[in-house]
Amino acid sequence: MALLQISGIQKRFGGLLAVNGAGMDVADGELLGLIGPNGSGKTTLLNVLSGHLAADAGDVKLDGRSIMGLSPTRLTRLGVLRMFQMTRVFNRVSAYDNLVVCGLAMGLDEAGASRRALALLEELKLGHVMHLDAGQLSGGQKKLLEFGACFMVPPRVALLDEPFAAVHPVMKETMSEFIRRRNEGGQTFILVSHDMPVVVDLCPRSVCMNAGRVLADGPTQQVLREPAVIEAYLGEQGQEEQNHA
């Protein structure tokens, strides 16, 4: 049985059907790429999976049990963690204390939270800025810090929404290696990204969405060769060129 079973998800905003019957299974230990042009429903689907939006129809099961309608707090306790496009850290607290606070909130004792925070800061190459307020860090360093917060207690499923956007290549490589190591250790990921080289490098399987539906699902290289996927991306590119004309 799949770790995560997503079936028939629908989410409407007024007259817009943002997600239209999307479904997929995610195996335990899988690193799944979720791709598609802008407005295809990827982020809306992640918001449903993490409890930040209520679906109008469909179901999501974790370990065979429905988790639909649960709050983000309850889902976090079940191990479904969400990383947002817009970085969320405590700007007036040190990088170290950001991680410790997250660890305490997730049930670690103070000594355990401190050990875990120090190990993650070292792994994410943030040791030299650990005592700076998070607001003083660069955008990429804040992204790395948020990565660390998500893994103070390793989740069952990590939902990553555009983690590489506007990040320096060196820090992007640190993130990529962090994801790869965790996945090799059995961590499950759903990765939303427009960075196709990274998706190809990290994700053996990808699901492409367009107009709220699943357009293709399979090995990443095969999905990217699907005529419907190529057409969806070329259509987006053509629209962008029109907008800039």
Considering the entire predicted model, what is its pTM? Answer: 0.89
Most confident segment among 136-140, 148-152, 212-216, 238-242? 212-216
> Which pLDDT does position 236 carry in this prediction?
56
Q: What is the pLDDT of residues 99-110, one digit of tens each?
A: 999 999 889 999
Query: What is the third-level CATH fold of 4-88+156-244?
Result: Rossmann fold (3.40.50)
Q: Spell out the alpha helix ranges (H) of the chain.
A: 42-49, 72-78, 95-105, 110-123, 139-150, 169-184, 196-202, 220-225, 227-244
Which amino acid would we find at residue 103? G
Domain boundaries, the chain: 4-88+156-244
* For residue 130, pLDDT beyond 80: yes
- pLDDT grade for 52, boundaries at 50, 70 and 90: very high
Mean pLDDT throughout 70-76?
92
Burial class (CB in 10 A: 0-12, 13-18, 19+), 59: middle
Mean pLDDT throughout 128-153?
92
| Average pLDDT for the chain | 91
Whether 211 contacts 59, CB under 8 Å: no
- pLDDT grade for 245, boundaries at 50, 70 and 90: very low
* For residue 131, pLDDT beyond 50: yes
